[in-house]
Amino acid sequence: MVGEKIKKELYRAIREIGKQKIQKDITSSIQSSQKYIDLIMNKCIGRLVSFELNSDHDRITGTLGEALLHFMLTISTLPSERKIRINSELVLDVVIPNLRILKTNPSKSIIVQFIKEGKELEKISKLQFIQPNAENIWVVFHKPLTVTKYKTYSIIPDSFSNIIVDIHNFLNQSGDKTLRFVYTK
């Protein structure tokens, strides 16, 4: 499935709910991000999976989850950097709050890595060369993982809907003071 089709369905679902409504609700209560993540994922997965073969389901849900996380981070004004190429083999999907903090004070930074197919699971151990605190490596997979060393989220069943609240709490606990820009588009 092409990323553009996934992005199109994601923004269609966001428009149906109302981007300003989502932003207003999340701004007043970060916990409301959970209901919106669930709602948007359910709308989009139903539409996208019917277009494609089930064999591509894992990649579709992973790509959709990553795109939705990017949207949620933006509207909730949580600081992040995305798609950071470390070398030819490793790209960090999301770094919270930013790469500079990850390099200088890894205990105050997290890496969120999306695993879109089983063979990508081997990437996880490589992340510890960049983030030595295993508990600050958060892995998102389409189904529950048995990896206990890292914090894990599954898209189905949906522990993934907690991720924005967890990022918000992590930043509060780490004393994050990064400048945040309000998204108004």
Give the separation between CA 108 and CA 22, rounded to whole angstroms. Answer: 28
Tokens linked to 52: 């494609």
pLDDT in tens, 136-168: 999 998 877 777 789 999 987 778 999 999 999
Kindly report the pTM of this predicted structure: 0.89
pLDDT in tens, 106-144: 999 999 999 887 777 788 888 999 999 999 999 998 877
CB 115 within 8 A of CB 140: yes
